[in-house]
Amino acid sequence: MAAITEGEFSVDQGYACGLLLENGGNLRVLEGHRAEKIILDQEGGLLVNGTTSAVVVDEGGELLVYPSGEASNCEINQGGVFMLAGKASDTLLAGGTMNNLGGEDSDTIVENGSIYRLGTDGLQLYSSGKTQNLSVNVGGRAEVHAGTLENAVIQGGTVILLSPTSADENFVVEEDRAPVELTGSVALLDGASMIIGYGAELQQSTITVQQGGVLILDGSTVKGDSVTFIVGNINLNGGKLWLITGAATHVQLKVKRLRGEGAICLQTVKVAPCLY
């Protein structure tokens, strides 16, 4: 395997394979070009406008996929970073961090202390982002700041849909709003939790909460006297549903269809809980 240290290089003759990028070495993959089997380590970077696959990002490495770029079958390990504005499929987050900045990803697996964020880079919100078929396993955490989450299986991990009505003051919000949407089928298995802030669009979702799973609908950040959560379908298969509201707020839950057996709990708080 060839190593690239320091400086920036471009793919030669449209294809690169089997490279180690480290110590500030960067490889730029131009549109129409391809790179595969790349290892990023110790400040090595891969900048993709074309296509890439089988990239391993280790501690200090960074993979950047621009709007015209595509990545598949990449692995992000402890200390690695993946910034996505294009398309990605079959990504394994095995301890690193992935930020979807208005791009599209599918079949992403989040586990082992890794963090997936949809719709933010920590400075701005990107409402056009989308993730499909997301899996969040033990030790994994997914945060939806803006954009659409379609279909998810959560087993031992945590998913948070942050309230679009309470964007942090440090964020630049598109048109003073940060829409968050949950669609399709969502399964909360044993040890899983999903926390949904008030204002997220939930009407096109079917949420199934298995025994040991917890769904929390959190309206405690709302300033007002009424909070209404509208959800498509909820199946309680032994799981728990919590409704959290402020002390002076009336809370309602409207569901197209509520099925199964489980616990529905109401918690009133004087101060917003630190759930996130």
pTM across the whole model: 0.91
The pLDDT assigned to 175 comes to: 44
- Residues 125-146 have pLDDT tens digits of 898 999 999 999 999 999 999 9
The pLDDT assigned to 267 comes to: 86
The set of long-range contacts for 85-91, using a CB threshold of 8 Å and a minimum separation of 24, is 86/48
- Residues 45-62 have pLDDT tens digits of 999 999 999 999 999 999
The pLDDT assigned to 266 comes to: 86
CA quadruple 120, 84, 158, 255: dihedral positive or negative?
A: positive
Which amino acid, one-letter code, is at 202?
L
Query: How does DSSP classify residue 240?
Result: E
* pLDDT lower than 70: segments of the chain: 1-12, 163-178, 247-248, 270-276
- Residues 224-260 have pLDDT tens digits of 778 889 999 999 999 999 998 876 578 889 999 999 9
The pLDDT assigned to 274 comes to: 47
CA dihedral 84, 70, 33, 47 (to 10 degrees): 10
Tell me the Ramachandran region of residue 275: left when phi exceeds 0, alpha when psi lies from -120 to 50, beta otherwise.
alpha
The pLDDT assigned to 270 comes to: 57
